[in-house]
Amino acid sequence: MDAEVFVVDNKSSDDSPAMVEREFPAVHLIRSTSNLGFAAANNRAFPLCQGEYVVLLNSDAFLKPGTLQCAVRHMESRPAAGLGGARLTGRDQSWQPSARQFPSLLNEFLSLSGLSVKFPSSRFFGRQDRTWAGAGSPAQIDWVPGAFSIIRRSALEKVGYFDEAFFLYYEEVDLCHRIKDAGYELWYWPDIEVIHYGGESSKTVASLSMSKSGAQLTLWRMRSQFLYYRKYLGSSAWLVKKQEQWWHGLRAWKNARSGDPMRRSKAEDSQKIVELLDRAWAETNGGRLSPERPW
């Protein structure tokens, strides 16, 4: 199968661009002088791609033998498919949620409350990540994680590239939303297998450490969340903010009353999340504008 490979270097701090040039001379290397974020970096390569299909692969994702051939066969067998996703597994072979439902206030609550984790086999509580169906069932879905996806080039050209307002998080959700709105199908195919080492970063906010780096990633997630909700769900952007603030405010109050140092630490983390939500809301003007890059 003929293929061309593009590597976008998003201002890495090591010698990886030189390594790519030295060890993979056939690869098209695109260097950026600044950190453009996920969306804008991929957009640098899209106009240069010549193939009928465009495959996105994160630097922490690895294809199993035959993966690309399998993905192309699926796309060719379903002309209405605009985008397809893979079965993602961690380095320990554990399944990562790979067939997802669009964000909503209900889905956010099920995730915040832990009900989606507690009852993964329930069609209702496991709706967001489709955990009730298990990893082995192909299905039409709303969106797939950006670690791997195969996109029909004609669909990509029709709906446009990634929205660069999203520096990190939600950019693939937005693209899938636009592809689906244009009338294309989006599919999860479990026989396309991809090992994804980055699953550890996809934790719930409640379990994130409020270190400087953890708080920064959380802030970026909140900014993108507000941008997404404002774009597709209007005033629900404010409601999703208040819902998360209410939940973490309640957790902070409950844990602060405990004499357990660990629970008091959790109370402090929840209070920081409440404050970060206010900050993200102000910095995006309620989801109406994206802060200047890089975030």
**Number of separate domains in the chain:** 2
Q: Are 227 and 170 in contact (CB under 8 A)?
A: yes
* Residue 42 belongs to a domain: yes
* Residue 105 belongs to a domain: no
Q: Are 221 and 205 in contact (CB under 8 A)?
A: yes
CATH number of the domain encompassing residue 173:
3.90.550.60
- Reply yes or no on whether the pLDDT at 259 is more than 90: no
Q: Which of 93-97, 185-189, 221-225 has the lowest mean pLDDT?
A: 93-97
Distance CA 241, CA 277 (A): 7
At a CB cut-off of 8 Å and minimum separation 6, what does 263 contact? 255
Q: Which of 170, 201, 232 is the last residue of a domain?
A: 201
Distance CA 75, CA 81 (A): 6
Number of Cβ within 10 Å of residue 172's Cβ equals 23
pLDDT in tens, 236-258: 999 999 999 999 999 999 999 88
At a CB cut-off of 8 Å and minimum separation 6, what does 182 contact? 82, 155, 158, 159
What is the per-residue pLDDT for 206?
A: 41
* Residue 57 belongs to a domain: yes
- Same domain for 81 and 213: no
* Residue 58 belongs to a domain: yes
- Reply yes or no on whether the pLDDT at 294 is more than 90: no
Q: Predicted confidence band at 211 (pLDDT cuts at 50, 70, 90)?
A: low
- Same domain for 148 and 250: no
What is the per-residue pLDDT for 201?
A: 38
Instruction: Give the domain range for residue 250.
Output: 205-283
Q: Predicted confidence band at 159 (pLDDT cuts at 50, 70, 90)?
A: very high
- Reply yes or no on whether the pLDDT at 171 is more than 60: yes
3-state SS assignment for residue 53: strand
pTM of the model: 0.92
- Same domain for 190 and 147: yes
Q: Predicted confidence band at 9 (pLDDT cuts at 50, 70, 90)?
A: very high
Q: How many residues does the chain have?
A: 295
